[in-house]
Copies of this chain bind each other. A is one copy, B any other.
């Protein structure tokens, strides 16, 4: 038996020439972060408000008016799922990205890329959903665009929404502002959106039991800022990559450690069952209707009460704390009494979830 060096006779090609985009580059996890850090930010100058801190939106000062801008493409499959559809998701996701910077939505722009042959009835349904979600959020779609590509060049419809918001005066929020001693809050149960979309796509039969949590969170945020003001240090909606990725991003940007308690994590039984069947960690599953907030310790109790007084925050919990140890790392105090490292999502656990 001989061993052949597999590289023999193979002309070495620089990695950069052969690399391909992977599904994981769109997951919101570690590959997404690397793509942003290594390719996009160097070429585009910067992204987000802070120096190198990836935020959900950018802050612009235009003639003294604090504007916040966010853009997101939505490619969810299937387009329609229990609890929502791509149109509602596109509006909620963008409104929430503005809200996570402490901004209320002022205007939305919506761009469609549609595959030839897409049913007009579905286009009407998606568009009605965009319109209804925008109206419910109190924001207007002010401009848009429609492109059509040939059959097979897209999958149904992709929706890109861009939001412009006005930042509330007391908002001083950034993923870089968490401090040791701060308290980590979560506005409600997790695990529903990602499992709903995936089980609907795969027809797993959960569809009658679970529904996406997609909804706009800006009113909850306005109430939180009215209560806590500058004591509210960080907000992040744990969409792609889930709570685990959101907390890791905050830990890295703030150079702090975060510790959460397993027993505090609110995973409804149906979502837990779906995660088990699908082999998913609920901490990595995308959510579209909850937020993580990090606040000064003295303000935590009153803020939690305020969150619970709002319809979007009735299920709010104290999830854990920010610590000075293990900066950049997120640990979980397990039910068994140990500690477990909570990593960012690596690769693509759930493609096309939003």
Contact = CB atoms under 8 A, between A and B. Distances in A.
Contacts of A143: 47-48, 55, 57-58, 69-71
22 contacts: A16-B120, A19-B119, A21-B123, A23-B148, A36-B146, A39-B124, A43-B128, A44-B110, A44-B130, A46-B142, A62-B67, A62-B106, A65-B65, A69-B107, A71-B109, A72-B111, A75-B147, A148-B348, A149-B155, A154-B154, A160-B160, A164-B164
Contacts of A114: 21, 25-26
Interface of A: 16-17, 19-27, 32, 35-36, 39-40, 43-48, 55, 57-58, 60, 62-63, 65, 67, 69-75, 77, 106-107, 109-121, 123-124, 127-128, 130-131, 134-135, 140-150, 152-155, 158, 160, 162, 164, 166, 348, 351-352
Nearest to A24: B148
Nearest to A143: B58
A44 B145 CA distance: 12
Contacts of A162: 69, 71, 109, 111, 160, 162
Contacts of A106: 60, 62
Nearest to A55: B143
Contact of A44 (B22, B39, B144): B144
B58 A107 contact: yes
Contact of A113 (B32, B75, B123, B127): B75
Nearest to A351: B150
Given A44-B141, A148-B25, A158 B113 contact: yes
B71 A150 contact: no
Contacts of A55: 143
A18 to B, nearest CB: 8
Contacts of A117: 20-21
A162 B111 CA distance: 9
A44 B147 contact: no
A120 B19 contact: yes
A57 to B, nearest CB: 6
For A22, A57, A142, A164, the residue with the greatest tally of chain B CB atoms inside 10 Å of its CB is A142
Contacts of A154: 75, 153-155, 158
Contacts of A351: 148-150
A146 B44 CA distance: 14
A16 to B, nearest CB: 6
A152 to B, nearest CB: 7
Nearest to A120: B19
A103 to B, nearest CB: 12
A188 to B, nearest CB: 24
B65 A62 contact: yes
Contacts of A150: 23, 351-352
Contact of A20 (B44, B69, B119): B119
A115 B22 CA distance: 8
B153 A155 contact: yes
Contacts of A160: 71, 73, 111, 113, 145, 160, 162
Contacts of A130: 43-44
